[in-house]
Structure 1
Amino acid sequence: MLVEFAVRKLLQDHIIVTGEIAPYGYGDEIPDALGFASRKSTLIECKASRSDFLSDKKKSFRQKPDEGMGCLRYYLTPPGLVDPDELPENWGLY
């Protein structure tokens, strides 16, 4: 359900949008939703639980953002799951 919402959100201003593209992941990263528009790509990672969010922060491509997907990056979570102060640098929260 979170992934469907993320895809709908990206469709508002992106030309090409994919959701849960496991076979096409870049390196070890498998994005929940990824949208492309002219000169930018936007990644939305959906996290339904706090433990999922905390384990995601430990992944190598989160530790080294240059190796990750998306020019713009966001987490989509249920309200109150993540405090904005906990977000990695240059990440947003939906």
Structure 2
Amino acid sequence: MTHKDLVEIAYKWVLKEAGCAIAFRDFVSVEQSELYPDVIGVGSFAKSVSVKVDVSKPYYLKSINKEIWLNPEKGMGRFRFLCVPKDLVQPADLPANWGLIYVNDKGQATCVHNPYGTGSSDIWKNGFEDYNLYTYLDLNEQLNSVCRRFRYRAIVYDKQG
């Protein structure tokens, strides 16, 4: 399973299981990716769910020494999850307050550890603080860029149709 496959599965999980109304995947350049999740979703009541994806144990062991893991205040998302192939990482291996999503060989995602709540219908609690204003301002710029591109494509499509 590739990184791209896992990102797509995590994206669908954020929309369906995490109760987010909108989600974005791979929305930043590779150079910026260390502090950004692979997927971020936004739901009502300021709910933000981010997912980092790791495809192998060596990749995970290398990534946990990066900024997002060592300094959670620099990361994004009130509720954070790691998405990996099944059994790649155990819940006990996670940094504090992170959830874990397994993806099986058939591409089905299952949340095996959710430190915030039991499902999408209840109110999740005890997530990370939303204190990283600069990261969110930068995300806002990224989201604005995405929305402008969507608007441009819609205008072009409308003129062609």
TM-score for the superposition, normalised by structure 1: 0.89
Contact 1:22-1:31 within 8 A present in 2 as well: no
Size of the aligned set, in residue pairs, is 93
**Aligned residue for 1:19?**
25
Task: Report the Cα offset of residue 30 of structure 1.
Answer: 2.9
Written as runs of structure 1 = structure 2, the 5 A alignment for 1:50-65 is 50-65=57-72
Q: In terms of Rg, which structure is larger?
A: 2
Q: CA RMSD in A?
A: 1.8
- Evaluate the alpha carbon distance shift between residue 27 and residue 52 of structure 1 in structure 2; reply closer, same or farther with a 3 A threshold: closer
**Is 1:76–2:83 an aligned residue pair?**
yes
Query: Could you list the per-position Cα deviations for residues 9-48 of structure 1 after superposition, in whole angstroms to 9, with x for gaps in the alignment?
Result: 111111120011124x978513211101121111111111
- Evaluate the alpha carbon distance shift between residue 37 and residue 82 of structure 1 in structure 2; reply closer, same or farther with a 3 A threshold: same
Structure with bigger helix share is: 2
Task: Report the Cα offset of residue 67 of structure 1.
Answer: 1.0
Aligned counterpart for 1:10 among listed residues 5, 14, 21: 14
Task: Report the Cα offset of residue 66 of structure 1.
Answer: 1.0
Contact 2:25-2:40 within 8 A present in 1 as well: yes
Corresponding residue SS for 2:69: helix
Structure with bigger strand share is: 1
Percent of pairs with identical residues? 32
**Is 1:41–2:45 an aligned residue pair?**
no
Q: Any stretches of 5+ residues in structure 1 without a counterpart?
A: none
Q: Any stretches of 5+ residues in structure 2 without a counterpart?
A: 102-161
